[in-house]
Amino acid sequence: MADRTDRWWFGVGAACVAAAVVLGASIGPAGPDWWRVPLEFVNRLPLISIETGVSESEWAIVWKIRMPRVVLGGVVGGMLSIAGASYQGVFRNPLVGPYLLGAAAGAGLGATLALTVGRGVTSSWAVDPVPTAAFVVAVASVMVTYTVGAAFGGDRTGVTLVLAGVAVVSFTSAVQTFLLQRNLEVFREVFRWITGSLANATWGDVGLVFPYAVVSVVVLLIHRRHLDLFRVGGDEAATLGMSVARTRLTIVIAATLGTAAVVSVSGLIGFVGLIVPHVVRLLAGAGHRRLLPLSLMGGAAFLILADIPGRMLSNPAETPIGVVTAFIGAPFFIYLLRTKRVGA
Amino acid sequence: MSELTLNGISVQYGDRTALRSFSDGVPAGEWVGLIGPNGAGKSSLLRAVAGLVQYGGAMYVDGVDLAGLGDRDRAQQIAYVPQEPLIPGDMTAFEYVLLGRNPYIGYFGGASRHDRSVVDDVLDRLRLREFADRMLGALSGGERQRVVLARALAQETPILLLDEPTSALDIGHQQQALELVTELREAQQLTVISALHDLTLAGTYTDRLVMLDHGEVIAAGPAREVLTAERLGAVYRVCVTVDVDPEDGAVIVVPRRGFLAS
Ligand SMILES: Nc1ncnc2c1ncn2[C@@H]1O[C@H](COP(=O)(O)OP(=O)(O)OP(=O)(O)O)[C@@H](O)[C@H]1O
Ligand SMILES: [Mg+2]
């Protein structure tokens, strides 16, 4: 009975993702008429041939410019949302998101480092050093948080860990501000990175983050049942036979790796990882068996769609996607809070 | 079907000692009632046995040292109902009771049909069937307490620790819950340790009472010997009369008006 409801929800989620992908690939300032694009996709399937009137150069716009952006948006949105849902579950705290333990602040610092002090060294490099630096410092920050939190906490509540995260985030942000304030010439570049963007995404970017995201998502999905145990608190979960500290560590590592990987390419897209899990909870319930896959799909669809208005409002510069997500997402979330009863 | 041996168990919070060198042997199938005033150390003892606080001393289940068991193995031996369970309001009663099956589910596994049927069975026995699909947040305090008891029973352990399991139950459901524990205890030789504030119920349902005060054992034995008016007066600072039913020997503690001079 419950499984049929699950399947129904997963079907709805998959349909949302598919619709978002089609819209995301079809709409844009240049390229073919929007309605020709879905037809052309069908045309490109093996054994099927229809006349769509899409030229090779138009198709190149769809395939080389829009599709990487759509796919990267899906990966980033899905990853941030499932990581956010996992963090919220493991810390039993609705206010935490995937950036809680310092992944975002660390990535920001890494990018700033690469764009300031690293500039002289890396300017001649063939590869862009920013994503690598962002990823490395993000992972390092979370490791510091965890070491500090575990050393002084050792408790089953995870509160110490959250507080350690707050300290690490403040510290990394301070270092970043310090660096920026001495290198104002890169301010614009860093700002653009911090606000997050999917513009200029390539298939190479997608290939860069995809392996991390897949591993992370698989590990998190495996832990859906464990996340439900966290809902009765660490103490009771322990008496129910869960190794709380180890399970929490596994989940946090998986969520952090995926988060660090996606933000190192997309920049810090806020709001998605915090809010999408809540929307899913309000609509489909709080059990993680449903919550995690639906957050993955909902986050992917949401970010792909949120990326569309930014392309159209591109004068003088593209509207940052983080602004769009909050602009659409916040009112929708408030609407849901009003119509659904929370916490019952 | 397990014997629990406690050797010199002490519990300390910082430099406050909550339990001092508690020793007892609970044979398989026995029900021990822990009584004593607030702060006596009852919960501390139960939490130590459940593995939730650091303790001094040693505990054995059928001769096996509990300190050497992993979380999962311990959870197959001991089920614990905390005094104040953390209730996830947005979880259904069925899902919640199903959590009790966790010790039998592999790391990568999910609940089996057997696990679900155990849960159904427990829900039926506690007459919670109608609440199965209700959210815990939408249950009354007493209904919730029975669901927590159901979770512990679904764990199917030989040892059951209950910390005030009936504090929120009406007189009928109190009796029903305690009768169920009695029935299970007889059918499956469950070993039960419970903290109970209602002294009459404690005396009626348990085999033996242990009275704690300030972390130490004040008295232990059958209700008739432990529950005397003088002792209760001294330990609880309360004015009571204690009647013994001439027919079945049940001990009835009746509070009286008035203060005890201190
Ligand atoms: N986490 C804690 N930190 C510090 N002291 C504690 C803690 N928990 C309990 N205590 C103290 O230990 C003593 C024993 O507490 P315990 O909870 O075992 O009492 P109890 O017999 O269960 O009381 P009650 O009938 O009120 O439930 C009390 O003095 C209490 O203040
Ligand atoms: Mg207590």
Domain boundaries, chain A: 2-343
Give the integer Cα–Cα distance in Å for A203 and A63: 10
Q: What is the pLDDT averaged over residues B91-104?
A: 96
Q: B194 in ligand 1 pocket by Cβ < 6 Å?
A: no
Which candidate in A88, A218, A224, A240 is best for mutational testing of the B interface (most B CBs within 10 A)?
A240
pLDDT band at A314 (very low <50, low <70, confident <90, very high): low
Residue B21 has pLDDT above 70, yes or no: yes
In whole angstroms, give the CA distance from residue B29 to residue B27.
6
Residue A309: in which H helix or E strand, if any? Answer: helix A288-312
Considering CB atoms only, which of B51, B71, B137 is closest to A344?
B137
Q: Which residue has its alpha carbon closest to ligand 1 atom 2?
A: B13
Give A122-151 pLDDT, tens digit per residue: 666 666 788 888 889 998 998 898 888 876
A289 SS3 class: helix
Q: Contact B35/B202 with Cβ under 8 angstroms?
A: yes
Is any ligand 1 atom within 6 A of the Cβ of residue B43? yes
With cut-offs at 50, 70 and 90, classify the pLDDT of residue A343: very low
Calculate how close chain B gets to A180, using CA atoms only, in Å. 44
Q: Is the CB of B16 under 6 A from ligand 1?
A: yes
**CATH number for the domain formed by residue range(s) B1-77+157-230:** 3.40.50.300
In the predicted structure, residue A315 carries a pLDDT above the cut 70: no
C-alpha B165 to ligand 1 mean position (Å): 17
Output the pTM of the full model: 0.89
Domain boundaries, chain B: 1-77+157-230, 91-155
Q: For residue A290, what are the contacts with CB-CB under 8 A and spacing of at least 6?
A: A6, A9, A280, A284
Question: Does position B40 have pLDDT exceeding 90, yes or no?
Answer: yes
Closest CA to A80 of A267, A308, A231: A267
Percent of chain B past pLDDT 70, that is, above it, reads: 98
Q: With a cut of 60, say whether residue A342 has pLDDT above it.
A: no
Which token pair is B262? 């201190």
Phi/psi-derived region of residue B62, left when phi > 0, alpha when psi is between -120 and 50, beta in every other case: left
Q: What is the DSSP string of A155-205?
A: SSS-HHHHHHHHHHHHHHHHHHHHHHHH-GGGHHHHHHHHH---TT--HHH
d(CA A157, CA A154): 9
Q: What is the CA radius of gyration of chain A?
A: 21
Contacts with B50 from chain A: Cβ below 8 Å: 239
Mean pLDDT score, A65-84: 94
Mean pLDDT value of segment A168-196: 87
Q: Is B41 in the pocket of ligand 1 (CB under 6 A)?
A: yes
Residue B217's pLDDT band (boundaries 50, 70, 90)? Answer: very high
Instruction: State in Å: Cα B66 to ligand 1 middle.
Output: 23
pLDDT classification of A84: cutoffs 50, 70, 90: very high
- Written out in words, the top-level CATH class of the domain with range A2-343 is mainly alpha
From the list B121, B94, B130, B128, the residue with the least C-alpha distance to A1 is B94
Task: Name the 3-class secondary structure at A340.
Answer: coil
